[in-house]
Structure 1
Amino acid sequence: MKGGWPVGGRVLLCLTVSLLLPGRGDTFTINCSGFDQYGVDPAAFQAVFDRKAFRPVLNYSNPTHVNISFTLSAILEVNAQLQLLTSFLWMNVMWDNPFISWNLEECVSLKNLTVSAENVWLPDIFIVESMDVDRAPPGLTAFVNSEGRMKYDRPVRVTSICNLDIFYFPFDQQNCTFTFSSFLYTVDSMLLGMDKEVWEITDTSRNLIQTQGEWELLGITKATPKMLVGSNVYDQIMFYVAIRRRPSLYVINLLVPSGFLIAIDALSFYLPAESENRAPFKITLLLGYNVFLLMMNDLLPASGTPLISVYFALCLSLMVVSLLETIFITYLLHLATTQPPPMPWWLHSLLLYWANPRTCCPTAPQKGNKGLNLHPAHLPGVKEPVELVGKVSGPREAELNGCPESTRAQLVDLWVQFSHMMDTLLFCLYLLFMATSVVTVIILWNT
């Protein structure tokens, strides 16, 4: 063909270009003359630095294999309101750069070098759940060995999305995920792998975390799903991180004081019902519990309804019920000592049975008797009222009520005994409800 190159000329031109262009043939081997007593000559790596904008492969149809691992060194914050986990990771990324290699025998057995990370190609690995900018410190370096194996380690503070369940606070466990992926390279260009086993990552992370913070690491597992975005498929490695809260701080500052206060409230039932100190004591205890809740409010989660909040509301309700019971008994005693109404026959029978369950109550009044013709001897253990009767058994009051003084004293004594019976019954119901509620909460916490 006229004006064309001869066949031999074309072959010679291709050989010349292949030898002159960097990245072809044996020109990838670093010349050891760049390693001398003054350090490393940057000119020896200039060809590699010029390629940093491109993925380092000999054939672009072959994907780059990138190995990923990390160490969870600290859990800084768990924000239940924003559903965010703030942690500190040491990320480890490894890949091969075929443009870097040197002969160990010629280069005085130099096995590893550190290269500024700004001068080499870095894989664009990111954490999918991250909600903050990358806060890795600038000016990091990468390690490279004589075979072109690159290793890039960087510390990073990660604020990631985590679906937090605080119902069992402070005995809660959380499961969060760290998904490592590339946002530029599909599976045709980059494949992800691991250079460490999951149990190695777990053990290393657990040893670092166990001495700090309120969280402890339970375990790490992994999965390798693919992410499909349109027609593009991206490789991923997903790590499931299970953590558990150390509850000692909250048990000492929240549960123990609350338990002491509710126990004191229960013991206050042993104060005499006729005493004028029971109601004020319970009111003071109730106000003190409210102050305790206000002071400890900062330790509770700001969102949601954890089980411990239900427990505190239950304790507060028990104290209110206890105060209402005291008010009711005080009202009964006041009624018995001022204007005691006639006692129904069924109530009198119940009172007799309560005083002596083995007795069949042969002297129980009939329905129309109203219990006014009974003698206190019918009630075993009934004491003669002293102060209470003295207040109401004056001749004028008895005359106004249309009944003898002795009968009125008996009626007052019956109502006082009924008040004591109701106090004991309500106290037993109070203890039963409190024990059932506390056991239920403990069982829910242990599930």
Structure 2
Amino acid sequence: MEGGWPSGGSFLLCLTVNLLLPGRSNTFTINCSGFDRHGVDPTVFQTIFNQKDFRPVINYSIPTQVNISFTLSAILDVDAQLQLLTSFLWLKMIWTNPFISWDPEKCGAFSKLTVTTENLWLPDIFIVESMDVDQTPEGLSAYVTNDGHIVYNKPMRVTSICSLDIFYFPFDQQNCTLTFSSFLYTVENMLLGMEKEVWEIADTSRDIVRTQGEWELLGINKATPKMSVGSSLFDQIMFYVAIRRRPSLYIINLLVPSSFLISIDALSFYLPAESENRAPFKITLLLGYNVFLLMMNKLLPASGTPLISVYFALCLSLMVVSLLETIFITYLLHMATTQPPPMPPWLYSLLFLCTSPGKCCPVALWNENTGPGLMSTHLPGLKEPGQLVGKELGSREAELNGGSGLTSTQLADLWVQFSHMMDTFLFRLYLIFLASSIITVIILWNT
């Protein structure tokens, strides 16, 4: 072991002298006598390999220029709850090692070689937003050209922080950032540049990601701000990656079934109000809608309140209101057929006005017909003559109710007419509110 020290000391001395002599770059030309048709003699590169622990520059006052680019090949996962984006990309780095140089004409026409990365100095480029340990596989190689350019392609599975806005789910777009920087070398030692234009990166990535997964790539932009950490200044390149969710899965499995159920609930108003099947039918729909929401809950984001959740809550609320309306109308009809209470004058006037607009004043008609002997013809627009009681009722045959002069049969028919009128009014109000709510949600999704 001691015999090895002089040679090691000589190497360090020679390296120091070489670093102090920037003008003698031809000193580092590789003797390619070992190059032949059977391959390359690794011993001719051994001196270069021994320098891998040092930044390969002739003058340490000159920063190393590293040009980078990447290809986004897959968007693996977008975790809205943890605000994380998991993607797979190929990072390409190009820099120059001035200690590597040979003449291809004298070296068997070799202009490019592959060298394992464990024998080369590698720039410590990392992604600032990354939340995972770099899992780069071992045994990768890099291309080395005869003029000292090194091209290194590095596969990366990146789990990065991304501020996600899921309000417009499933029609949402996200804008995540991937910031490439060095954690060791400041701007005095390393500068970052672009290996290709950003539109080329976007086009190449879009062609690869186009047919894969739930997300599609919209575009990539860049910025080159400096990152200041204390008194140190680091160079960095920030890429803005815009992605959009493909909504077809959620439209088919969420929006279409929900729209069908709410449409059937609206059509159930056409069932006769006197029918005993309307309320059970609406209860069945309501239970089915709850089961649908429970089954589809795993497709919804686990955090936040997206607009689609508001839409589902609105549909559920409308179905509950529809059931309450049916219960109310059923109660009115039951009251009309069992023991109808006296109808207030204002309610009779309102009923008369709604059923016979343009006729004489309903209040005056009410005051004129408060005595006994009220005939069915005094109720225009409510029923045709003879439909209320079938004949004119005399004062002795009329069963007075509340001093209004109406018989129980007439009063019951009035309450039935009022129930039908309320059913129609509430149904139209239901449709107006449903249409306005859906239109509002669609407008919000489009914006």
TM score, norm. by length of structure 2: 0.90
1:85-164 alignment runs, 5 A limit? 85-164=85-164
Counterpart for residue 74 of structure 2: 74
Distance change >3 Å, CA 346–CA 18, structure 1 → 2: closer
Counterpart for residue 303 of structure 2: 303
User: Secondary structure of 2:407's partner?
Assistant: helix
Distance change >3 Å, CA 308–CA 384, structure 1 → 2: farther
Distance in 1 of aligned mates of 2:371 and 2:75: 74
Counterpart for residue 380 of structure 2: 379
Counterpart for residue 12 of structure 1: none
Counterpart for residue 5 of structure 1: none
Q: Any conservation in 2 of the 1:127–1:180 contact (CA below 8 Å)?
A: yes
User: Secondary structure of 1:347's partner?
Assistant: helix
Instruction: Return the offset for 1:42.
Output: 1.1
User: Secondary structure of 2:211's partner?
Assistant: coil
Counterpart for residue 225 of structure 2: 225
Counterpart for residue 328 of structure 1: 328
Distance in 2 of aligned mates of 1:286 and 1:360: 45
Distance in 1 of aligned mates of 2:349 and 2:91: 81
Q: Any conservation in 1 of the 2:35–2:41 contact (CA below 8 Å)?
A: yes
Distance in 1 of aligned mates of 2:427 and 2:179: 57
How many residue pairs are counted as aligned between the two chains?
424
Distance in 2 of aligned mates of 1:435 and 1:371: 48
Which stretch of structure 1 is more off in the superposition, 103-112 or 169-178? 103-112
Deviations 1:268-293 (CA, angstroms, capped at 9, x unpaired): 00000000000000000000000000
Counterpart for residue 11 of structure 1: none
Instruction: Return the offset for 1:57.
Output: 0.1
Instruction: Return the offset for 1:36.
Output: 1.8
Counterpart for residue 365 of structure 2: 364
1:147-226 alignment runs, 5 A limit? 147-226=147-226
User: Secondary structure of 2:163's partner?
Assistant: coil
Distance in 2 of aligned mates of 1:442 and 1:330: 35
Letter in 2 for 1:215: W
1:343-422 alignment runs, 5 A limit? 343-361=343-361, 364-366=365-367, 369=370, 373=374, 375=376, 378-380=379-381, 382=383, 407-422=407-422
Q: Which runs of 5+ in 2 are unaligned?
A: 1-12, 391-397
Distance change >3 Å, CA 19–CA 355, structure 1 → 2: closer
Distance in 1 of aligned mates of 2:405 and 2:380: 19
Letter in 2 for 1:300: L
Letter in 1 for 2:366: P
Give the percent of matched residue pairs that are identical in Structure 1 and Structure 2.
72
1:21-100 alignment runs, 5 A limit? 25=24, 26-100=26-100
Letter in 1 for 2:129: E
Counterpart for residue 287 of structure 1: 287
Alignment partner of 1:239 is 2:251: no
Instruction: Return the offset for 1:360.
Output: 2.7
Instruction: Return the offset for 1:136.
Output: 1.8
Instruction: Return the offset for 1:348.
Output: 1.0
Letter in 2 for 1:62: I
Deviations 1:199-228 (CA, angstroms, capped at 9, x unpaired): 000000000011111111111000000011
Instruction: Return the offset for 1:380.
Output: 2.4
Distance change >3 Å, CA 368–CA 127, structure 1 → 2: farther
Distance in 1 of aligned mates of 2:240 and 2:199: 12
Counterpart for residue 426 of structure 1: 426
Which stretch of structure 1 is more off in the superposition, 84-93 or 32-41? 32-41
Distance change >3 Å, CA 245–CA 121, structure 1 → 2: same
Distance in 1 of aligned mates of 2:368 and 2:75: 74
Letter in 2 for 1:177: T
Instruction: Return the offset for 1:195.
Output: 1.3
Distance in 2 of aligned mates of 1:315 and 1:370: 50
Instruction: Return the offset for 1:389.
Output: 8.9
Counterpart for residue 268 of structure 2: 268
Distance change >3 Å, CA 376–CA 297, structure 1 → 2: farther
Letter in 1 for 2:367: Q
After TM superposition, the runs of 4+ consecutive aligned structure 1 residues lying more than 3 A away are 17-27, 367-374, 383-386, 398-406
Which stretch of structure 1 is more off in the superposition, 79-88 or 354-363? 354-363
Q: Cα RMSD between the aligned structures?
A: 2.6
Distance in 2 of aligned mates of 1:269 and 1:304: 35
Letter in 1 for 2:443: I
Distance in 1 of aligned mates of 2:372 and 2:72: 79
Deviations 1:107-154 (CA, angstroms, capped at 9, x unpaired): 122110000000000000000000001122211001010000001001
Distance change >3 Å, CA 347–CA 43, structure 1 → 2: same
Distance change >3 Å, CA 371–CA 103, structure 1 → 2: farther
Which stretch of structure 1 is more off in the superposition, 215-224 or 401-410? 401-410
Distance change >3 Å, CA 367–CA 435, structure 1 → 2: farther
Q: Any conservation in 1 of the 2:71–2:90 contact (CA below 8 Å)?
A: yes
Distance in 1 of aligned mates of 2:441 and 2:132: 38
TM score, norm. by length of structure 1: 0.90
Q: Any conservation in 2 of the 1:92–1:153 contact (CA below 8 Å)?
A: yes
Q: Which runs of 5+ in 1 are unaligned?
A: 1-16, 391-397
Instruction: Return the offset for 1:406.
Output: 7.6
User: Secondary structure of 2:156's partner?
Assistant: strand
Letter in 2 for 1:128: V
User: Secondary structure of 2:105's partner?
Assistant: coil
